[in-house]
Each structure stands twice: as C-alpha cells, then as structure tokens.
C-alpha cells in the first residue's frame, strides 16, 4: 500500500503524532484533525486509511478516549488462552497514527487492519 502523498495530509499526520505524544488525547483537536485528514485518504484512493480515520474519529467522539489496545505482536494459536494486554489510550493512539504514517510497510498495514477490526467490534 502506498503512503499519503499530499503534503497537507503528511503534515496533518505528523501533527497528530506530535500532539498526542506531547499533550495526550485532546479529543476535540484529534477528532477535528482526523476529519480533516480523511478527505485526503479518499482523494488518494486509500480506502483502509479512509476507514481507519473515520472509525477512529467516531470512536473518540463517542468514548472521549481511544479505548482500543495495541494489537498483539504474535498471532494466537487456536485453543491458546488470550491474556488481556494493558494498553494506555495515548500510547495506542500514538501507535495507530504511526501505522498510518508508515502504511507502506506490510506489517503496519496488517496491524492497521487489526485496529479497524477492533474499532468495528467495539
């Protein structure tokens, strides 16, 4: 998958990463920036990013936080017990934004799909 090319979109994702890193989740700012980012993802025909940004904005708007944990690194074997992974909302949202920024890496695309799945199921 290709990354965002539009300079305004690239700037927005950098701003989101920096804002969350420095200030935590300021819901109205994050929601506004995600909504501003989404049209660029549509223009550049990146449906996974469009869906991820929409779902994240809706999730934060409804829950006033980002309650989706960071996807587990290792796949779970069938029959294996799943341990709940403690995840800080700020840390998870920061990671989510980094995945969007670096979506050209296959593993990042897969993890972003896990986030989208979790957002849909929440």
pLDDT in tens, 36-85: 999 999 999 999 999 999 999 999 999 999 999 998 865 555 554 444 45
Question: How distant, in Å, are the alpha carbons of 7, 32, 49, 55 from that of 115?
Answer: 25, 20, 11, 9
State the SS3 of 65-98: CCCCCCCCCCCCCCCCCCCCCCCCHHHHHHHHHH
Per-residue model confidence as pLDDT tens digits over 17-34: 999 999 999 999 999 999
Choice between 87 and 10, residue whose per-residue pLDDT is larger: 10
pLDDT at position 121 over 80: yes
Longest dimension (CA), the chain: 46
Token representation of residue 116: 């989208």
Nearest to 113 by CA among 60, 55, 43: 55
Q: Are residues 65 and 25 in contact, defined by beta-carbon separation less than 8 angstroms?
A: yes
Taking residues 97-111, what's their average pLDDT?
96
């Amino acid at each position: 998958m290709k990354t965002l090319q539009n300079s305004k979109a690239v700037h927005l994702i950098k701003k989101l990463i920096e804002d969350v890193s420095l200030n935590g989740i300021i819901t109205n700012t994050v929601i506004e920036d995600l909504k501003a980012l989404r049209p660029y993802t549509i223009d550049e025909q990146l449906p996974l990013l469009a869906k991820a940004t929409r779902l994240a904005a809706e999730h934060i708007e409804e829950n006033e936080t980002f309650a989706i944990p960071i996807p587990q690194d290792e796949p779970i074997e069938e029959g294996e017990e799943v341990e709940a992974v403690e995840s800080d909302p700020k840390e998870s949202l920061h990671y989510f934004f980094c995945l969007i920024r670096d979506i050209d890496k296959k593993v990042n695309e897969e993890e972003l799909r896990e986030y989208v799945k979790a957002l849909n199921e929440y």
